[in-house]
Every structure is written in C-alpha cells, then in structure tokens.
Amino acid sequence: MPPIYASIDLGGTNLKGMLAHEDGSVVCATSVPTQSHEGPQKVLERIADLVAELCQQAACGPRALGMAVPGLVNRRQGVTKFLPNLPTQWRDVPVRDVLAPQVGCPVYLLNDVRCATLAELVFGHGRHASTMAFFALGTGIGGGVVVDGRLRLGPLGAAGELGHQTILPDGPRCGCGNSGCLETLASGPAIAAEGIRLMQSGLAPRLYELVRGDPGRVTTKELAQAAQSGDENVRDAIVRAARYLGIGVANVVVALHPDLVVLGGGVAQIGDLLFDTVRQTVRQRVGMFPTDGVEILPSALGENAGALGGIALAVQGGLLED
Ligand SMILES: [Zn+2]
C-alpha cells in the first residue's frame, strides 16, 4: 500500500484534518470546531484525537504530519511563535514535541498561507509554473512566493507577506503597524466597509435590499451581487479595490516576472469584475516587459488549499533542507 500523509489546517474557528497520498489524492478528511478559547493544550489534544480518528477510518498510520498554522512559527523547532488570532497567541508552544509522540510520526509546521502557496505549487495551477506568487484575499491579505520552483520562506518563514506592501503612503492604519498596506484597501473587511458606507448614505439601493439594510450582513459576496444587479457605486468600489490589488500584483510582477499569479480566498470569488480589473491594471502598470505570459488565475484548490499544503509539507519533510 502506498504511504499515507496527514495534515491539519489549524484555523481560528475550525480544525481540518486530512489523510492523503503523495499525489494529493485524499483518503479521508474531516473538520471539527477548534474551540481555541480552551487554550493550546486542549486544542493539541483535539488534534491528536482527530488524527487518530482519521487513521482508524483509513486503517493505517501516516508517515508524517504537516500542519498549517495561522501565524509565525519556528519551523526547525516546531514551535509556534505568534498566532495573532488565537487566544493566548500561542507564544512558544512546543507543538511538534507535544504532538509527535501522540501521532507516532514526524510533525512539521508552516504558516497557513505559505502552506496554501505550496499546495497551489504542487497540486494546483503551479504544477506548470516555475515562478509564481499567491495572494490569499480574505479577512486579511496573505501571500506566498515561489522562485524557480522553490517556495521562498526566508529566515523566519515570513517571506511573501504580499498584503503588507505599501500602496497608499498616507492610507489607513494597518494591523502590522504600517499605513496604507494593500490589506487596508483590498481585504474583505476593507471592501465591505465601503459598501456599508455607500448603503448608509443611500447610494446602494440594491445592496440595501439584499441585506435588508443590515450592515452586519454585508460581505464581498453581497457587494458582488449588488454590483451585478445595478448598484453603480458598489461596482465602482469593487473596481477601486481591484485596482489597488492590481498595483500590488504589478509590483510583484516587476520584481519576479512570474509565469503565474494566483488569487485565492473569499474576495477572489467576486469573479470577473475583480480579475479583469487586476489583469488590466497589470498591463497598464508594467511597462518594462510584456506581461502576456503572466497568467492571473483563481486558485485551483479553494478551501482545501491549507490542508493540501500540509500534505505537501509532510511529503517534503517540512522543507527543512532549505
Ligand atoms: Zn500592513
């Protein structure tokens, strides 16, 4: 029987567990609430239980476990350093040393968006690419960079934070301490906030109907619907955010001349209006070389990207030879 690998995608809300073969074919997968308020120790117990349950289903044990983690980790020591969205922020939790004896195999950690980038490289559109950039467009904007077939991690595994490039020098304050980062202009909450403002100013009647005037229900999904059904101002807001995103993509394109840029995450589901604007902005703003060969595509893997990245990480021994 071919070897099986395990992965865990540790999210603030859900823990996704997966067993898969080396080629990414999934043997079994499941998801349980993280219940992160119970603290790291309980969450790690839950992870060990989840892996045990999957192994029982598959009637075999994994060769290695790869874990996608929402923040900074020390990859060599398998220790979490700073997970900003989890209670206690998981500072210096020895995840590898706690989990490895329980799951009975090596455990490797990597930032979740770098994991998603690795998944796109190994199992998604990146299979045919040599140099690629990945933008994860959600509550924040994360990213990852592949240069000449290798995921670029840097000394802290933090290379590829594409959401924190400055786009507007005097723009809104960002969580990272800078101002005017791409994330402050084109993340889901940034775009939704402008939609809410328009709705409350009486400038987005379709949006108002869609959410019955409730600002708590406005996400980029409703904005895309409102734009499509005739809210010109909402359409303009999406195009403006997509132009900022296009500038961020163009900056990466001039730096790397990649074959491929992948846009994933919930905001990418806005679809053609977003992708067409980004492609047009890249054409307009990159003048030093033709960009016809730079493909800009939606993720091939969607919500499974983190978990599949954990599988690729496990297969590749945690990328620790870098
Ligand atoms: Zn920032």
pLDDT of the residue at 320: 86
Q: State in Å: Cα 192 to ligand 1 middle.
A: 18
pLDDT of the residue at 212: 97
Q: State in Å: Cα 137 to ligand 1 middle.
A: 14
Q: State in Å: Cα 42 to ligand 1 middle.
A: 31
Q: State in Å: Cα 184 to ligand 1 middle.
A: 7
Residue with tokens 């969607």: 302
Residue with tokens 């009486």: 202
**What does pTM read for this prediction?**
0.93
pLDDT of the residue at 322: 57
Q: What's the DSSP call for residue 26?
A: E
Q: State in Å: Cα 189 to ligand 1 middle.
A: 14
Which tokens sit at 9?
Answer: 């995608």
Task: Give the integer Cα–Cα distance in Å for 311 and 320.
Answer: 15
Task: Give the integer Cα–Cα distance in Å for 213 and 207.
Answer: 8
pLDDT of the residue at 303: 85
Reading the chain (322 residues) residue by residue, the pLDDT tens digits are 789 999 999 998 999 999 999 999 999 999 999 999 999 999 999 999 999 999 999 998 999 999 999 999 999 999 999 998 899 999 999 999 999 999 999 999 999 999 999 999 999 999 999 999 999 999 999 999 999 999 999 888 889 999 999 999 999 999 889 999 999 999 999 999 999 999 999 999 999 999 999 999 999 999 999 999 999 999 999 999 999 999 999 999 999 999 999 999 999 999 999 999 999 999 999 999 999 999 999 999 988 899 999 999 999 999 987 5
pLDDT of the residue at 106: 97
* pLDDT, tens digit, 9 for 90 and up, residues 11-53: 989 999 999 999 999 999 999 999 999 999 999 999 999 999 9
Q: State in Å: Cα 158 to ligand 1 middle.
A: 13
Q: State in Å: Cα 15 to ligand 1 middle.
A: 26
pLDDT of the residue at 16: 96
Provide the strand spans (E) within 125-223. Answer: 132-137, 141-147, 150-151
Q: State in Å: Cα 160 to ligand 1 middle.
A: 13
Instruction: Compute CA distances 148 → 33, 132, 260, 309, whole Å.
Output: 38, 8, 12, 18
pLDDT of the residue at 102: 96
Q: State in Å: Cα 113 to ligand 1 middle.
A: 16
Q: State in Å: Cα 163 to ligand 1 middle.
A: 7
